[in-house]
A and B are shown apart, each in its own frame.
Chain A
Amino acid sequence: MSVDTARILPLRNGAGTNPKIVAKNIQKYFGNVLAMEDISCSINEREFVAIIGPSGCGKSTFLYLIAGFEKASHGELLINNVPITGPGPDRGIVFQEFVLFPWLTVLRNVTLGLDIKGVQRQEAEERARKWIRLTGLSGFEDAYPSTLSGGMKQRVAIARALTYDPEVLLLDEPFGALDVQTKNYMIQDLQNLWLEANRTIVMITHSVSEAVQLADRVLVLSSRPSRIIADVAIKLPHPRDLRDPLLRRHEDEITAILSAEVDKAMSLERQASAKAERRGS
């Protein structure tokens, strides 16, 4: 992780105007539990979108829908104007729980995407080593995942997704297990990657400051069953300084929306459980 890569890049090439991912009235039931009520949004090419929302509102589920692991109960989900029918190498994912392969070393975990594609061993290792270095895992190439700490596992998962270079990166709380310092380095690297490589990134996070620092747009989800209750565009140049008052304004704005939503959900839940208790007694 190189600090010196934090170059001063005034404005990136800018998010394209072509929609990459389009969700129209997505509804998702698990059995007869409604997890998502109505999600509609459009994510442009090369856009960095952060999704934030109360715990259990369906953020991971939304990512799995885009990845093609799960099917929406209603609605339409398009990538490049084509309905998503299943997973594909154009979309790479970093799971909240990492999901490494315990039988592969760090290096083999990271090269897996290229191995599957049939890329030459040597080239695959070269590309993997770049990301192993940038995620600060040098020296652990031959370690097995069971010997790594949670934060290291998360970095392996990030390196694994970045190495095979998908057009769309789906990140489910990718910095959740990292300490603040490591996280800041990783944020910088992710930012540089995205400035250079022009990938579309959808990132779930619980941290408003992370969201406003990285994203072009922040989508705020309501509590379950979820809808999009705010779509905040952050039009500030990168790299961003968290002390920038404009950024702080966005941060406060989103925090306010989010806490209002959580308060509402919690009080509704308390009422419901109180009612159930009264009925029960």
Chain B
Amino acid sequence: MSVETSDVRLERYDLSTAPFGAMVGIGRAALIVVPLILWELCSRFGLINGFLFPPPSMILYKLWVQSGPIGNPPYAIWWHVAYSMLRLLSGITLAVGIGTLIGVALGMSRRARLVFQPIISILMPVPTLAWTPVLLLLIGIDNRTTILVVFLAAVFEMIYIVASGIEMMNVKMLWVAQSMGATRWQIFWRVIIPGIFPYLITGTRLGTGYAWRALIAAEMLAASSYGLGFMIYDASEYMNMDVIYGGVMLIAVLGYVLENVLIGKIEAATTEKWGVLNER
């Protein structure tokens, strides 16, 4: 791993070369803005069912009202987002921590790999939502259930990617540290963790994506008062279409911010600065 790529990574940079880059930017924005305008107009002029498809401006207005003091409950959107984020971040933190430990253990030991590979391969494709009823029975409607769903959605990807990251690591890096007298602890923090960092980022990115989707679904089943999934579910009971669409938009935007902006920032500060390739 850690392929040095100062000259290989062309396609990541050609986006920013103006004026081509500017055109791509305009195209990207247009693909989002134009359909929204069409939707707005069709809905306003009665070309489509205004109840099933309320105009985007109404949806945004609803989001605005619901985020303010006259929302029901006051500042509702903030609470829903905060609860979802809290669950997501707790679950992801657990998944990254535990997944990394297990992944490193598997990556370092051929025997452990032989023993655990099959069970992980069997569990990995199980949709996380399939666990939700079990967790509901075991734990009940509680934050712990949704956090566990997030954990399960992300942890297998994490284990898998970290273990393959270790396998790809140049064993001579460990040798260098050992010949400097490094302890196991120092080797773990100073060599293994930074050495698999590209894989950690990729695992976290993919895991966050899976977990975000699973969380929203799980909140529909297993949240009692807050969370974006709950908000949508609750709104569907009262046929509040604008809240439903608002929820979907928020989920999309937050998912994008999490996966690309937040993790992108970490990436820029680490692997991109070091000039090592991120596995994608």
Mark A150-181 against chain B: 1 for CB-CB distance below 8 A, else 0.
00000000001000101000000000000000
Which residues of the other chain, B, contact A147 by a CB distance below 8 angstroms?
6, 275
Assuming A102-B2, A103-B274, A144-B273, is B176 touching A116 (CB within 8 A)? no
Cβ contact within 8 Å between A146 and B179 = no
Cβ contact within 8 Å between A93 and B4 = no
Does A82 belong to the interface (CB within 8 Å)?
no
- Considering only residues 45-71 of chain A, those with a C-beta below 8 Å from chain B are 64, 67-69
Cβ contact within 8 Å between B175 and A69 = yes
Cβ contact within 8 Å between B179 and A93 = yes
- Give the docked Cα–Cα distance between A68 and B181 (Å): 12
Which residues of the other chain, A, contact B71 by a CB distance below 8 angstroms?
none
Cβ contact within 8 Å between A88 and B6 = no
- Considering only residues 97-151 of chain A, those with a C-beta below 8 Å from chain B are 97, 99, 101-104, 112-113, 115-117, 144-147
Does A83 belong to the interface (CB within 8 Å)?
no
Cβ contact within 8 Å between B172 and A146 = no
Does B177 belong to the interface (CB within 8 Å)?
yes
Cβ contact within 8 Å between A101 and B194 = yes
Does B276 belong to the interface (CB within 8 Å)?
yes
Cβ contact within 8 Å between A117 and B276 = no
Cβ contact within 8 Å between A102 and B181 = no
Cβ contact within 8 Å between A116 and B194 = no
Cβ contact within 8 Å between B179 and A87 = yes
Which residues of the other chain, B, contact A145 by a CB distance below 8 angstroms?
4, 275
Q: How far is the CB of B91 from chain A (nearest CB, A)?
A: 27
Cβ contact within 8 Å between B173 and A101 = yes
Q: How far is the CB of A245 from chain B (nearest CB, A)?
A: 40
Q: How far is the CB of A127 from chain B (nearest CB, A)?
A: 14
Cβ contact within 8 Å between A99 and B4 = no
Of B2, B191, B273, B274, the most chain A CB neighbours within 10 A belong to: B274
Which residues of the other chain, A, contact B2 by a CB distance below 8 angstroms?
102
Cβ contact within 8 Å between B186 and A116 = yes
What is the size, in residues, of chain A's interface with B at 8 Å between Cβ atoms? 30
Which residues of the other chain, A, contact B177 by a CB distance below 8 angstroms?
112, 116
Q: How far is the CB of B180 from chain A (nearest CB, A)?
A: 4
Cβ contact within 8 Å between B4 and A102 = yes
Q: How far is the CB of A201 from chain B (nearest CB, A)?
A: 15
Of A68, A99, A103, the most chain B CB neighbours within 10 A belong to: A103
Cβ contact within 8 Å between B270 and A113 = no
A166 (CB) vs chain B CBs: closest residue: B179
Assuming A102-B4, A116-B186, A144-B274, is B181 touching A88 (CB within 8 A)? yes
Cβ contact within 8 Å between A116 and B181 = yes
Cβ contact within 8 Å between A101 and B180 = no
Which residues of the other chain, B, contact A95 by a CB distance below 8 angstroms?
172, 176
Cβ contact within 8 Å between A117 and B181 = yes
B275 (CB) vs chain A CBs: closest residue: A146
B273 (CB) vs chain A CBs: closest residue: A144
A91 (CB) vs chain B CBs: closest residue: B179
Cβ contact within 8 Å between B180 and A146 = no
- Considering only residues 186-225 of chain A, those with a C-beta below 8 Å from chain B are none
- Give the docked Cα–Cα distance between A166 and B181 (Å): 11
B191 (CB) vs chain A CBs: closest residue: A101
Which residues of the other chain, A, contact B173 by a CB distance below 8 angstroms?
99, 101
Q: How far is the CB of A253 from chain B (nearest CB, A)?
A: 34
Does A16 belong to the interface (CB within 8 Å)?
no
- Considering only residues 241-272 of chain B, those with a C-beta below 8 Å from chain A are 270
Which residues of the other chain, A, contact B190 by a CB distance below 8 angstroms?
112, 115-116
Which residues of the other chain, A, contact B178 by a CB distance below 8 angstroms?
68-69, 86-87
- Give the docked Cα–Cα distance between A59 and B195 (Å): 28
A95 (CB) vs chain B CBs: closest residue: B172
A146 (CB) vs chain B CBs: closest residue: B275
Does B224 belong to the interface (CB within 8 Å)?
no
A69 (CB) vs chain B CBs: closest residue: B175
- Considering only residues 2-60 of chain B, those with a C-beta below 8 Å from chain A are 2, 4-6
Report 22 cross-chain contacts, Cβ distance below 8 Å, ordered by A residue. A67-B179, A69-B178, A87-B178, A87-B179, A88-B179, A89-B179, A91-B179, A93-B175, A93-B179, A97-B172, A99-B175, A99-B176, A101-B194, A103-B194, A103-B274, A112-B176, A112-B180, A112-B190, A113-B180, A113-B181, A147-B275, A164-B180
Q: Which residues of A contact B (CB under 8 A)?
A: 64, 67-69, 86-89, 91-93, 95, 97, 99, 101-104, 112-113, 115-117, 144-147, 160, 164, 166
17 A-B pairs besides A103-B194, A116-B181 with CB distance below 8 A are A67-B175, A67-B179, A69-B179, A87-B175, A91-B179, A93-B175, A99-B170, A99-B176, A101-B173, A101-B191, A101-B195, A103-B270, A112-B180, A116-B180, A116-B190, A117-B181, A147-B275
